A and B are shown apart, each in its own frame.
Chain A
Amino acid sequence: QKEVEQDPGPLSVPEGAIVSLNCTYSNSAFQYFMWYRQYSRKGPELLMYTYSSGNKEDGRFTAQVDKSSKYISLFIRDSQPSDSATYLCAMSEVHAGKSTFGDGTTLTVKP
């Protein structure tokens, strides 16, 4: 069983919708939680990171971590066609340099 499981998708939503992307994990030693966005044929781009339970907001993006349930989420408000990409969750124990990734969820936002 994988250490990090991500909702597989694909996900297709209309422009302006709220998107919820989710991952669960089994390794209780994970301390850092990250979300990346990856466009086709590009490297992953760091969207948000956090290391505590609770919510962290950055513009239209909110990262949520629940360590007791080993569950993390990324919410995207007012989704835009430019948000269409693959979203990857990632986690690490001590520092970000050794991260374990989910398989990614491909999101399409339709105009």
Chain B
Amino acid sequence: KAGVTQTPRYLIKTRGQQVTLSCSPISGHRSVSWYQQTPGQGLQFLFEYFSETQRNKGNFPGRFSGRQFSNSRSEMNVSTLELGDSALYLCASSIVDEQFFGPGTRLTVL
């Protein structure tokens, strides 16, 4: 069974730009969550989508947004990038009590 896939794996952007990250969940999983991981703040919840609807949202500014498509694939967008947005962005798909992570997209903002 294929795991969670994320593209791209690495990304370098400059301040003020915007970026879109993509996630394909495990087949059959309808919930997709996004997390930001940094050395200083650890793993923080961004938002969760279930059946194309945002089900939960973390404490991040509105520059962070996402969406989910009918095939459960999800995208995350960050607009007006700031230096502090440099992080590993992790996508996870889940079924009730089991959550599985992808390898992440490492975003560097210069």
Contact = CB atoms under 8 A, between A and B. Distances in A.
Contact of A99 (B4, B32, B99, B102): B99
A99 B45 contact: yes
A61 interface: no
Interface stretch (A44-52, A63-71, A72-80): A44-52
Interface residues of A, number: 22
Contacts of A103: 42
Contact of A43 (B31, B45, B55, B102): B102
Contacts of A45: 101
Contacts of A60: none
A36 B48 CA distance: 19
Interface string A12-41: 000000000000000000001010100000
Contact of B56 (A43, A98, A101): A98
Contacts, number: 61
Contact of B97 (A42, A43, A96): A96
Contacts of A99: 33, 45, 99
Contacts of B98: 46, 49, 96
Nearest to A98: B56
A10 interface: no
Interface string B79-93: 000000000001010
B20 to A, nearest CB: 19
Nearest to B49: A97
Nearest to B42: A103
14 contacts: A32-B97, A43-B102, A44-B90, A46-B99, A90-B43, A95-B94, A97-B33, A97-B56, A97-B92, A97-B99, A99-B45, A100-B45, A101-B43, A103-B42
Given A43-B103, A43-B104, 8 more contacts: A42-B103, A95-B97, A97-B92, A98-B33, A98-B55, A98-B56, A101-B43, A101-B44
